[in-house]
Structure 1
Amino acid sequence: MKKPFLFIFLALIVANTSQAQTRSTRIGYIDMEYILENVSDYKEAKSQLELKATKWRQEIETKKIAIDKLKESLKAEKALLTKELIDERETEIKFQETEMLDYQQKQFGANGNLMYQKAALAKPIQDQVFTAVQDIAEAKNYDFIFDKSSDLTMLFSAKRFDISDQVLRVLNRTEKREQLSKKQLKEQEAKENLENAIDENPDLADRQKALDAKRAAREKLVADRKLEQEAKRKEYEDKRNAAAAEKAAKKNGTVSEPAKTEAVKTDNITPDSGGPTEKATTTEKAATTESGVNKAEERQKLYEQRKKELEERKKKILEEREAAKKAKEAKDAETQKTNTTNN
Structure 2
Amino acid sequence: MKGRIFGLTLLTIFSGLSLQAQKTFRIGYVDMEYILQNVPQYQEASSQLDAKVQEWKSEIEEKKREIDEMKSRLNNERALLTRELIEEREEEIAYQEEQALDYQQKRFGPNGDYLIQKKQLVRPIQDQVFTAVREISENRNLDMVFDRTADTGMLYAAEEHDISDQVLRSINRAANRRQVDSRQDRRELETAEERTVEQDNKIAEKAEMNENKQNAREAILAERQRQRDSIKAAKQKELEERRARIIEERQRRMDSIRELRQQKDTIN
Q: TM-score, normalised by structure 1?
A: 0.38
